Structure 1
Amino acid sequence: MKNDSRTAPRYERIEAALLDAIADGRLAEGTVLNEGPVANVFKTSRTPVRKALAELNAKGALARFDGRGFIVAGQNNGAMQHVRRLKLSAEMLGAASEAEYETPRASAAIIAEDFEREIVNAMPFGLYRINEMAAAEHYQVSRTIIRELLQRLQDRGLVRKDRRSHWVVGPLTARDVAHYFSIRQKLEPLALRESAPEMALDDICEMVTRTREALESGDDVMGERVDALERDIHWRLLRQTSNQHLLRMIEQSQIALVVNKVFSSSIGARPFRQPLEEHAIILEFVIRGSHDAAANALEEHLRLSADRTGKRLMALSVFPTPDFHGYLKPESRFTD
């Protein structure tokens, strides 16, 4: 295929392959092209194919055919007199080695991670509508994949559908943060009382060691290390409870943690010394087997965290709104 570039958007590579095939005569005048068969040859979704065909139509290489597809244009519109319905092949379309058009499996996780990060980052900055088609085009995947990702995020309480059945995210308000922490103050200590006695001593000791090392490193604790330490207290310490419904409710109520992540990315750091000292107290009680005292310490930690998170959310209100991907649009633009 000519003018090939693995870094170009997928629709551009498909467009170039089809244009080469037309120029070389492999796609003769009058050949009918529909999205489905072309997508099957290129082993891709219809979204990039639709855009590639539209681009070729705009350039005059293809013409609209009976409202259901496109036809390879000829001189003086002669294509309409020579309609060819051919079984398309990879060789015919210049896609002989089109493994490159498939989304690598590893990239699926990258797409999901980037999509979730963008959704989460938007939450404190207002109400945004999520455009499925625009997201599919941005990541060069099918709308089905985007819809599946949105449904997963919906299960976790990160997105929802409005009264018009549009996907939306945010806003995460100070009241929301207070309510989520109020739930967490009741549920997490309950889970800790059930979970901690079932945990292996080695696992608890590992948490204690990570916490002590972080305290000794002073103010150098940030980023993924902070997330891991938070997960020790607010997930690993709780997950041995047999009540899976309780764990699901806890996970959904931890949405407010996104404020801390966004705050950290906005200012480039995240003060963590005080929370870490509170973690150490909780773990000290756990390793002694004083599970009620540990649960009470966790409840107090969450009370203090609620206050800290509320202040961070207030601070974010004076930050400029970040530039989000094009599939996120402020909902105010869609009001009637």
Structure 2
Amino acid sequence: MSNNKTSSIDQSAPRYAVIETLVASAIESGTLPAKTVLMEGPISKLCGTSRTPVRVALNRLCDRGLLLRFEGRGFVVKGDGPGDPVRTALTHAMLGLSEEDSADPAPVTSQRIARDFETVLVHALPFGRFGVNEQAMADHYHVSRTVVRELLSRLQDRGLIDKNRRSHWIIGPLTAREVAQYFAVRSKLEPLALEESAPRLPATEIKAMWSRLQSGLDQGSDLSSDKLEELETDMHVRLLAGSSNGHLMRMVHQSQLALVVNRVFASFIGTGPFNNSLREHAIVLEFIMRGAYQMAAQALEEHLHLAARRTRQRLMTLSVFPEPEFPRYLVKRVP
């Protein structure tokens, strides 16, 4: 990073947080003037990253009131006074970057590869049992085996990967029986966490979740898989995050492995079949906004019962699709 405002950014922060800080600083300093239209693509190119962290950052800035939604796709810098939104070619300087800079905070290598590896893992789970070759994985990501082991160990704590008796890393398969068992646990634990968490969450955070959900419902079958994942995170992660029971939350997170079926299903089929699920999300949030937390917990439990049946059906549907091509570090194992 050059010796400018980017030098004060926490280099260990997630990419979306770095981009959020950059854009907010640019707005406050005036290098991004009011009424400037902002789109994901140009910012991701300038920042040297994918669109996903840019999307998260812009949505957070919108929630903070620094940006307004523009034509349903982009955002515009909020500002008073007359004048139409201005489309302009963004430059590094407008974001406080030199041409050699990017908003990529260069986090530790295990963080850098974690998202990509988890995506690969998620798509592999419904298609059988796979072994993970540490050296091949290290070669694939150009990191040391120490970094790979650190990442695999963290994912093991989350229940996404395991070791067999010979200490080989193993993932999958995710079966219909396991999905049913995971949902049986979730339907008891998540409502319990919700009742404790929801009263502690700021009203502004609940309102932001409601706004995102309504936007998702309005998009219907045009809802992106990234947006669907964000709405699922709202319901099953952010709404529960206020719980102070660490043991409960650890069990909740480990039982949420079945959520990966929805992520894979959306990537193959699209997000249209999730409309009923999102309407059930709305019922939960409506109860929370009314302060009816016990009713919200009951609505969440009912949602999870319905979701269990839908998820098992989706898992069966995935079985008819050809197995995707996975990186060489994943080795198919005979059951």
| Shorter-chain TM-score range | 0.5 to 0.7
Does 1:321 find its partner at 2:326? no
The aligned residue for residue 212 of structure 2 is: 210
The counterpart of 2:169, out of the listed 149, 167, 170, is 167
Aligned length: 230
- 2:298 alignment partner AA: N
User: How has the CA–CA distance of structure 1 residues 298 and 269 changed in structure 2, closer, same or farther, with 3 Å as cutoff?
Assistant: closer
Aligned to 1:245: 247
Q: Which amino acid letter does the alignment assign opposite residue 242 of structure 1?
A: S
1:275 aligned to which of 270, 274, 277: 277
The CA RMSD measured in Å over matched residues stands at 1.6
Secondary structure of the 1:271 match is helix
Q: What is the match of residue 22 of structure 1?
A: none
Shift of 1:228: 1.1
Deviations along 1:262-309, one digit per CA (max 9) or x if unpaired, are: 111123445221111101111110111111110000000001111111
In the TM superposition, 1:174-323 aligns within 5 A as 174-323=176-325
**CA distance in 2: counterparts of 1:301 and 1:215, whole angstroms:** 16
Contact 2:188 2:301 in 1 (8 A): yes
- 8 Å Cα contact 2:179/2:312 also seen in 1: yes
Partner Cα separation in structure 1 for residue 138 and residue 165 of structure 2: 23
Shift of 1:107: 8.3
* 1:184 maps to amino acid: R
Q: Which residue of 1 aligns with 2:134?
A: 132
What is the distance in 1 between the residues matched to 2:172 and 2:112? 23
- What corresponds to 1:156 in structure 2? 158
Aligned mates of 1:206, 1:268 — CA distance in 2: 24
* Conservation of the 8 A alpha-carbon contact between 2:198 and 2:242: yes
Distance in 1, matches of 2:299 and 2:271, equals 26
Residue 312 of structure 2 aligns with an amino acid whose one-letter code is G
Tell me if structure 2 keeps the 8 A contact 1:263–1:270.
no
Q: Which structure has the larger Rg over C-alpha atoms?
A: 1
For structure 1, the residue ranges without an aligned partner over 5 or more in a row are 1-103
What secondary structure is seen at the aligned counterpart in 1 of 2:170?
strand
Aligned to 2:52: none
**Given that residues 222 and 271 in structure 2 are in contact (C-alpha distance below 8 angstroms), is that contact kept between their aligned partners in structure 1?**
no
Post-superposition offset of 1:106:
5.0
Q: Give the secondary structure class of the aligned counterpart of 1:105.
A: coil
Contact 2:228 2:271 in 1 (8 A): no
8 A contact 2:197–2:239 mirrored in 1: yes
| Maintained 8 Å contact 2:191/2:301 | yes
- 1:64: which partner in 2? none
Deviation at 1:162, TM superposition (A): 0.5
CA distance in structure 2 between the aligned counterparts of 1:120 and 1:212, rounded to whole angstroms = 27
In the alignment, is the contact (CA less than 8 A) between 2:183 and 2:305 conserved in 1? yes
Alignment of 1:104-143 (within 5 A): 105=106, 108=109, 109-143=111-145
What letter is aligned with 1:213? S
Distance 2:114 2:208 in 1: 30
Which residue number corresponds to residue 30 of structure 1?
A: none
Separation of aligned partners in 1, 2:293 and 2:218: 26
- Which segment drifts farther, 283-292 or 203-212? 203-212
Percent sequence identity is 56
In the TM superposition, structure 1's runs of 4+ consecutive aligned residues that sit over 6 Å from their partners are none
Please tell me the residue identity of whatever aligns with 2:106: R
Closer, same or farther: CA 269–139 of 1 in aligned 2, 3 Å: same
Q: Distance in 2 between matches of 1:241 and 1:308?
A: 28
TM-score (norm 1): 0.66
| Structure 2 residue matching 1:180: 3-state secondary structure | helix
State how far apart, in whole Å, the 1-side matches of 2:266 and 2:218 are: 21
CA deviations over 1:20-54 (Å, ceiling 9, x no partner): xxxxxxxxxxxxxxxxxxxxxxxxxxxxxxxxxxx
Are the structure 2 counterparts of residues 115 and 149 from structure 1 closer, same or farther at C-alpha, using a change threshold of 3 Å?
A: same
Shift of 1:261: 0.8
Cα offset for 1:149? Answer: 0.8
Distance (whole Å) between structure 1 residues aligned to residue 117 and residue 285 of structure 2:
34
